[in-house]
Amino acid sequence: QVQLVESGGGLVQAGGSLRLSCTTSGGTFSRYAMGWFRQAPGKERDFVCAISRSGGITYYADSVKGRFTVSRDNAKNMVYLQMNSLKPEDTAVYYCAAALAAVSGQVISKDYQYPYWGQGTQVTVSS
């Protein structure tokens, strides 16, 4: 059983930056593909980005491409989301998720394919 805990959320002005972290425990971290999702009030949960087991493959939603960067440190069992040029529409609760990946280069963008989730961290971008 993998446990995930997000941190790093907060209030930032438009154009600013935040770095989210996701600490994992309870599993062999390097066996898991990781993803970030977000959910704004009254909206469905949306895919943000994903990263493969080794970190060599990443995949982004069009809405964040070029502004957000996902990375991972397998030695520290952590995954990060660097968010730059933030916009008010990025306001949401951000979740990290984990799924066992059979293939090292696998990235997963569907939320139903992730069995393990953190509790979320709030990101608010003011205009």
pLDDT in tens, 93-102: 999 999 999 8
Closest by Cα among 126, 49, 42 to 95: 49
pLDDT in tens, 24-64: 999 899 999 999 999 999 999 999 999 999 999 999 999 99
Backbone phi, psi, residue 39, to 5° = -140, 120
Q: Is the pLDDT of residue 12 over 90?
A: yes
Model pLDDT, residue 56 = 96
∠ at Cα 88 (99, 69), nearest 5°? 40
Q: Is the pLDDT of residue 79 over 90?
A: yes
